[in-house]
Amino acid sequence: MCGILAVLGSHDYSPTKRARILELSRRLRHRGPDWSGLFVDEQACCYLSHERLAIIDPTSGDQPLYNGNKSIVVAVNGEIYNHEALKKTMKKHDYHTQSDCEVIAHLYEEVGEDVVGMLDGMFSFVLVDLRDKSFIAARDPIGITPLYLGWGNDGGVYFASEMKALKDDCERFEVFPPGHLYSSKSGGLRRYFNPPWYSGTMIPNTPYDPTVLRTAFEKAVIKRLMTDVPFGVLLSGGLDSSLVAAVASRHLANSKAANVWGAQLHTFSVGLKGSPDLKAAKEVADYLKTKHHEFTFTVQDGLDAISDVIYYTETYDVTTIRASTPMFLMTRKIKALGVKMVLSGEGSDEIFGGYLYFHKAPNKEELHKETVRKIKALYMFDCLRANKSTSAWGLEARVPFLDQDFMSIAMAIDPAEKMIRKDEGRIEKWIMRRAFDTPENPFLPKHILYRQKEQFSDGVGYSWIDGLKAHAASQVTDRMLKHAKHVYPYNTPNTKEAYFYRMIFEKHFPQESARMTVPGGPSIACSTAAAIAWDKAWADNLDPSGRAALGVHDAAYSEVTPATTTTTTQSSHENVISANSFNNNNPLLGNILQPQGVQ
């Protein structure tokens, strides 16, 4: 990952302003510690700053990047996986670097704002056309990479990879919505990403073909092995990360290109000593014969990191912080090994209905609508966690399950095939398991392939969450929680754990705009609207743990006490955000989650 900061429309070009831009950009340097670049043009009224993490073309791919005659300049955070394919369809251009992102400037020269719909990758970028002094900003369809939009005290429009670069110089700021383009020519945002499944109203009916699904996922993983630096896979031992590791390992063993870093895949896992994830990951790594790295942490290590985790992830969402902390600690260890890129398994549960409350889905129509809502919310939860937890230490995380081509195939499958029918042996994500159930040449042992889902914050060790709750209880009194609505009227915390995180967040980000970038309200309380509609018993299920959900997990907590099963939390990755409720609670974010036609 990289960090970008752009200021457009400011008329202050004094040395003091330049120094301020550099100071704000420096707040993003953890995302890109390899080099810093700044482009300034007084005529176009623009500053483009870039903090680079060098993954492709480390020697000459510094940013900002330009087209042939440097009339178009762009600062990019992300990876463009189809850059070579695009070059083959374009006119001949003079390229300054081997960077995959430079193609954006040349493609814009040919097709203008349509460039965004032609890119296959994860990206956030700001592009300035010096020919007519216009600019555009865009974010990838799902929101794998972060981007924020602000309105500065100097009258300029600001864009930044993280809000810490905006919070002190913008009158207000908000999340830049995924799949959207901001154009100075049209004067606002419009959604460019509009696949058939996106509205959720049209129920797909394509028959399930395990070979087609498997092939598409293999391509998605292999595509993300595009790198000029050491890499690996984050391996929890669950289905999703194990499949990523299995495909990557098989490809490297058969690829001549793998000789750059060796044919043996490196895998990484984290957990408390003796945790389920460490045990499962080791078993998968042994089967795949990867070079496995196992990292342990203590509850105290995690507690000591909480403030830093909240600062880097820029959220006070409870389950995001729970899961981000082990990932944050693991990333630091990975970076110390010299690794700069990892593959991760986010997105599968949203696409295939893998969360345990999907056991209660009453029909295929409801299941499909819920998967669409979950995918739309990814940028606020799992994508945010995966990106910012790793970027905090200058590591890039790539997510094959959110590949556009793979998602198009997976979301076109008749959702009846995604329904969970335990009496027929169909557990959650059965169609992915079946696609990789190839006895003649197995990707994974069957007992691993059909292992039930374990929520990450549980899998790293069950005492992790208990430790968090106990620590929060020591920091937040009953009286403080009782009067929480007077202290925090927006997204009022309803547990001591939530209150504790909120206190830390407000110290780092006291601005009203900052607290409003975090989703909340009744729509994402512990019990989701969909889950309650599917099973009224969910309304009384007060613990967000996936393992405790609705009694559908094959195992149960051995350490559960009344105290840990009667605590509400602010939100959960099992949760879904109602678009209408979210918008009502977040006026600055407008219609980010509402379906929109391309304008």
Catalytic residue among 2, 101, 170, 383: 2
Phi, psi of 369 (to 5 degrees): -60, -35
Q: Can you spell out the DSSP letters for 388-439?
A: HHHHTTT-EEE-GGG-HHHHHHHTTB-GGGG--BGGGTB-TTHHHHHHT--T
Quote the pTM value.
0.90
* pLDDT of the residue at 581: 30
Stretch (H or E) spanning 479: helix 478-482
Q: In 3D, which of 199, 213, 523 has the Cα closest to residue 376?
A: 199
CB-based burial label for 42 (10 Å; 0-12, 13-18, 19+): exposed
* pLDDT of the residue at 552: 60
* pLDDT of the residue at 534: 87
Domains contained in the chain, CATH given: 3-191 (3.60.20.10), 210-584 (3.40.50.620)
State the Cα–Cα distance between residues 498 and 500, nearest whole angstrom: 5
Tokens at residue 95, please?
A: 């390229």
Tokens at residue 172, please?
A: 């207000």
Query: Mean pLDDT of residues grouped by 10 in the chain (599 residues)?
Result: 95 94 98 96 95 91 94 98 97 94 98 98 98 97 98 95 98 98 94 94 96 98 95 96 97 70 88 92 97 96 98 96 97 96 97 92 95 96 98 98 98 97 90 97 94 67 89 98 97 95 98 94 50 74 52 46 32 32 31 30
- Asked if 2 is an active-site residue, the reply is yes
Phi-psi region of 187 (alpha: psi -120 to 50; beta: other; left: phi over 0): left
* pLDDT of the residue at 289: 97
Stretch (H or E) spanning 215: helix 210-223
* pLDDT of the residue at 459: 67
Whose structure tokens read 């993300």? 224
